[in-house]
Structure formats: structure tokens, C-alpha cells
Chains A and B, each alone.
Chain A
Amino acid sequence: MTLERVRLISIRLAIVGVVLGAWELVGRFWVDPFWTSMPSRVAGRLFDWSQDGTLGPAIQTTATEILLGLAVGISAGGLIAIALGQSKMLSTVVRPYVIVMYAIPQLALAPLYILWFGLFLTPKVVLVAVMSAFFTFFNVYEGVRSTEDRIVAEMQLLGASRLQVLRWVVLPSAAVFIIASLRQTIPNGIQAAIVGEFIVSVQGLGYLAHQASVVLDLTGIFAAVVVVAAIGLILDQLVSLGERMWLRGRADLVRTAALPA
């Protein structure tokens, strides 16, 4: 590590320290901590939660919703995009509807899923799945459409069968676009699970934050936010790792896909 880098990191740590310190001081001396809470209280709450068995099940519930939803949604979105991409006719026909569907904010449908699928795990998984299916679909659909034509034509000239084209061109390039879109899909999936829990739930991190807001407990809200942010950062780091492993030399694809709200 060079001296320059050490300096940079210490400045960053200092910024974090100053912000947290200022927050603590504001709560202690200036504003009633009822309105702002304090880092020390948030840390204390997280410790309490980990001791009294609140935190573990909450993380488990929310993580299950997110991971199940992402798995279902990403595979569904990718498959539909590949299927539509197989027929030029079909993809031209449905294109305007896809754009219209995209214009509808998917989270607005959360109350519907709760009415249809009940109060527990299913509606949140559906919400996360629909959300991530959309992001994956859009990226794969646009991606596959924009890159493939020439290669496919050449392969067909060389006598490749439909299946061979699928196996050697379509699937690998779809996989690349799925990985490139994860950076947007995952935060949106987390967001969907949390919104679902805000509306109705009996467990989970969104539930904890919502319950805390009902009783005007800022400390509880911040504690839940910290855990959700940590989950987001962990998943983001995993995606970075995946990008470094599988998208080397395709930096153009990273961070070009649709952004999270």
C-alpha cells in the first residue's frame, strides 16, 4: 500500500468518524434524540436485538424473500428474453407492450400481490421476482438483440443448427448480460422485499423498521436500516467479485444497464 493510498483511506475514515461523531453530539447536546437517535443507541439496539433473538429470524426472513425472489425472477426474466429473441416476429409484436409494462412502477402492484397471495412469504417473493424478472428481461433482451446478428449469421453460414447457435452464442451472451444487470437487479430486489414487508408482514427487517416507525422509535428504524444496508453491501461485493471473474474485458457492460430507483 502506498503512502498516497494510506492517506486517502484515513481521510475517508475521518469523514465517517466526523459524521458519526457529529450525529452523536447533536443527539446528546442539541436535539432531543427522540428525533435523531444516536449512533451509540443504534449500536446498543443492534446488540440487544442480537441477544434477544430478534435479529437472526428477521435477517433470515428478509434474506429468504430476497434470494428466492431473485432466483425465480432472474431465471424467468432471462428465459423469456431468450425465448422472445428466438423469433424476430414475436419480439417485434410484443415490444411496445414490454415498454408500456416497464413504464408501470412495479412496486405500485405490491398491494395486489398481498391481496392475492396472503400476508406471509409468498407475496414478497412474488414482488421481488417480478421486479428482478423485469430488470433481467430488459437487459438480456436489449443485450442479445444488439450483439448477436452478425455472429449468428456467420454461424448459420457455417452450417450450425438452431440448437448449436443457442448453446454457443445466445446462452453465453445472455449470461454476460445477466451478470452485468445484477448490480441493478439486486438493490431493486432488496427494495421490493422491504416495501412488501412495510405494507404487511409479521417478521423481517422491513417489519422491524415499520414497527419502529409506528411507535416513533428512531433508534429501531436506524438499526434496521443499518442491517439492510449491510446486506446490500455484501451482495454488491459478491457481484463485484462475479464481474471481475466473468466480465473481464467487458467493462463497457458494467454499470450501463438500467439504474435502481
Chain B
Amino acid sequence: MLKVRLLQAAIPVALLVAWQTLAPARELEVFVSTPEDVGRRLVELGRSGELWTYAGTTVRTALLGLAIGSLLGITVGIVLASSQRIFRVVNPFVAAAYSFPRIILFPLFLVWFGPGEKAGLFLVALITFFLMMVNTIAGMKSIDTERFTTVRLLGASRLQLVRVVMLPSLLPFILSGIGMTVPAAFLGAIVGEILGGRSGVGYLIERSAGQFDSAGMMAGVVVVGFMGAVATLCIARPAEKYLERMGAR
């Protein structure tokens, strides 16, 4: 186990050393910068406050879009799956929407809302809406109809049916949906900023790349990685952990 931990620690160190020494030696600094320059740039961006503004924009777009998209997705999913008749009609549409590359719709939002946060917000909401809808439908389909009928025959009220039968079946799917939508929301926010942002980490990456400022570009990538890791640790992982515990019960 100690050996594993040591090797694990050695990997990033080796990569950083290789990056720091090889990049100048091969004259690749224009393209990849060096860890030293990237670190310095991060400190500069942090001091000037730009970093916090950009990160704030990205997090706000991702989380707000996620909230809007998820709520709509869960609602529409429940409605579509609640009646066997409706579901049989719309099923192929849902399947087609599932495999549709959604980001292609972004130019539409650019025209409708202009460059900026709003277009990004719509992209995030759109992406998370579909993921959540598909997951909710799968959850609704997992409800045991026999159990549902039995509980209803025992005289349960509508509210009790929802609480005792529907929610327990639905919750695992919504939680695993959150595990998928959180990374997707950040992806949507950052892509929106790259393609038509005025602020945000994606904007930082795109602007720096356009100016051949590799230190700024790499600094943006570091921030993106950090945000992705934090989002996974704080939202997606707890949801999965909770899911595992429920499964174990």
C-alpha cells in the first residue's frame, strides 16, 4: 500500500519536473508554458481579482443552469412517464433527443440572446434538462406496478403513494442523474464561454489561446480542473455515496 501511495505521489512530481525542464529545452514554451509561469500567472490573476470574477461567472452559470434544467427535466420526465399512453407515443422522440449532439444548438442561443452569460445559461439548462429527463423516465419505469397497486388497494392516499412507492424508486435515478449532470453543467458553461463569453474561465482560456498566451491558457485549464474536481467531490460523489448506502440497505 505504501508503495502504491509513493508511486501515486511520484506521478505528478515527475510530470511537473518534465514539463518545467523539457518545455524550455525544446523551445515549446510558446505552446505549453512552464509550471513556474503558470503558477505566477495564477497568483497574478488572483491578486487582480480577475480569477474570482471569472470563476464566479462559470460557477454561477453552471449551477443556475443546472438547477433550471434539472427541475424542468424531472418535471417533464414525471409527466411523460406517468401515463403509459403518452410514454408509448413520445418514446422514440426521447431516444432521438438522447443521441442528439446538443451543443450544436448553441449558435441559436448566440443569435437569440447575444454573446454573454445568458446564452451559456440556456446551453447548460438544455444539456442538464435532457440528462435529467432521461434519468427520471428510467426511474419512473422502475416503479414496481404490483407494489403500486397493492399499496393503493390497501387504501393509501395519493400523497402516501408518492411517498411510499414513487419517491423511493425515483430517488436513486435522480441522484445518479445529479452525478452525471454536474460535470455536464460545467462542461456546458465553459463551452458557452469559449464560444461566446464575455467572462468566465472558458473565456480566459479562449482569449489567452487566441493571443498565444500559453501561461494564461494553462492557468485557465488548471482552474477548470480544480473546479471539476471540487464539483465532483462536493456534489456528484456524495450523491453516489448516498446511493450506495441506500443500495446496501
A contact residues vs B (CB 8 Å cutoff): 8, 11-12, 15, 35, 89, 92-94, 96-97, 99-100, 102-112, 114-116, 183, 186-188, 190-191, 194-195, 198-199, 206, 209-210, 212-213, 216, 218, 221-222, 224-225, 228-229, 232-233, 236, 258-261
A191:B180 contact, CB within 8 angstroms: no
In the complex, how many angstroms separate the beta carbon of A7 from the nearest chain B beta carbon? 10
The 7 closest A-B pairs by CB, nearest first: A213-B107, A111-B209, A103-B228, A105-B187, A261-B184, A191-B101, A190-B101
B191:A107 contact, CB within 8 angstroms: yes
B104 interface neighbour in A104, A209, A236, Cβ under 8 Å? A209
With the chains together, A219 CA to B46 CA distance in Å? 43
Note all chain B residues with C-beta closer than 8 A to A228: 101, 104
A188, A232, A259 pick with most chain B CB within 10 angstroms: A259
Note all chain B residues with C-beta closer than 8 A to A104: 221, 224-225, 228
* Contact A105/B102 with A112-B217, A212-B107 known, Cβ cut-off 8 Å: no
Note all chain A residues with C-beta closer than 8 A to B73: none
A-B interface pairs (CB < 8 A), number: 151
Task: Encode B102-122 as 1/0 by CB contact (under 8 A) with A.
Answer: 111111101110000000000
In the complex, how many angstroms separate the beta carbon of B191 from the nearest chain A beta carbon? 5
A15, A112, A114, A199 pick with most chain B CB within 10 angstroms: A112
Task: With CB as the reference atom, state the residue of chain A lying closest to B196.
Answer: A213
A111:B131 contact, CB within 8 angstroms: no
* Contact A105/B100 with A111-B217, A221-B111, A258-B180 known, Cβ cut-off 8 Å: no
Task: With CB as the reference atom, state the residue of chain A lying closest to B188.
Answer: A261
Note all chain B residues with C-beta closer than 8 A to A188: 101
Task: With CB as the reference atom, state the residue of chain B lying closest to A19.
Answer: B93
Note all chain A residues with C-beta closer than 8 A to B156: none
B110 interface neighbour in A12, A116, A199, A213, Cβ under 8 Å? A213
* Contact A108/B111 with A12-B89, A12-B92 known, Cβ cut-off 8 Å: no
Interface check B202, CB cutoff 8 A: yes
A225:B205 contact, CB within 8 angstroms: no
Interface check B61, CB cutoff 8 A: no
Task: Encode B160-187 as 1/0 by CB contact (under 8 A) with A.
Answer: 0000000000000000000010011011
B contact residues vs A (CB 8 Å cutoff): 3-4, 7-8, 11-12, 31, 88-90, 92-93, 96, 98-108, 110-112, 127, 131, 134, 180, 183-184, 186-188, 190-191, 194-195, 201-202, 205-206, 208-210, 212, 214, 217, 220-221, 224-225, 228-229, 231-232
B209:A225 contact, CB within 8 angstroms: no
Note all chain A residues with C-beta closer than 8 A to B4: 89, 92-93
In the complex, how many angstroms separate the beta carbon of B198 from the nearest chain A beta carbon? 16
A225:B104 contact, CB within 8 angstroms: yes
With the chains together, A12 CA to B194 CA distance in Å? 37
A35:B112 contact, CB within 8 angstroms: yes
Task: With CB as the reference atom, state the residue of chain B lying closest to A101.
Answer: B225
With the chains together, A259 CA to B236 CA distance in Å? 14
Note all chain A residues with C-beta closer than 8 A to B220: 108
B191:A195 contact, CB within 8 angstroms: yes
In the complex, how many angstroms separate the beta carbon of B146 from the nearest chain A beta carbon? 22
A109:B100 contact, CB within 8 angstroms: no
Note all chain A residues with C-beta closer than 8 A to B103: 107, 191, 194-195, 261
Note all chain B residues with C-beta closer than 8 A to A110: 191, 194
In the complex, how many angstroms separate the beta carbon of B122 from the nearest chain A beta carbon? 14
In the complex, how many angstroms separate the beta carbon of B154 from the nearest chain A beta carbon? 33
With the chains together, A94 CA to B186 CA distance in Å? 24
Known: A92-B4, A183-B99, A195-B103. 17 other contacts (CB 8 A): A15-B90, A35-B112, A93-B8, A97-B11, A103-B229, A105-B191, A107-B191, A111-B209, A112-B221, A188-B101, A190-B101, A191-B101, A209-B104, A213-B111, A229-B104, A233-B99, A259-B134
Note all chain A residues with C-beta closer than 8 A to B112: 35
Task: With CB as the reference atom, state the residue of chain B lying closest to A258.
Answer: B180
Note all chain A residues with C-beta closer than 8 A to B110: 213
A11, A104, A199, A229 pick with most chain B CB within 10 angstroms: A104
* Contact A261/B100 with A93-B11, A105-B224, A111-B209 known, Cβ cut-off 8 Å: no
Task: With CB as the reference atom, state the residue of chain A lying closest to B207.
Answer: A111
Note all chain A residues with C-beta closer than 8 A to B131: 259, 261
With the chains together, A236 CA to B92 CA distance in Å? 13
Note all chain B residues with C-beta closer than 8 A to A260: 98-99, 101
B195:A199 contact, CB within 8 angstroms: yes
B224:A111 contact, CB within 8 angstroms: no
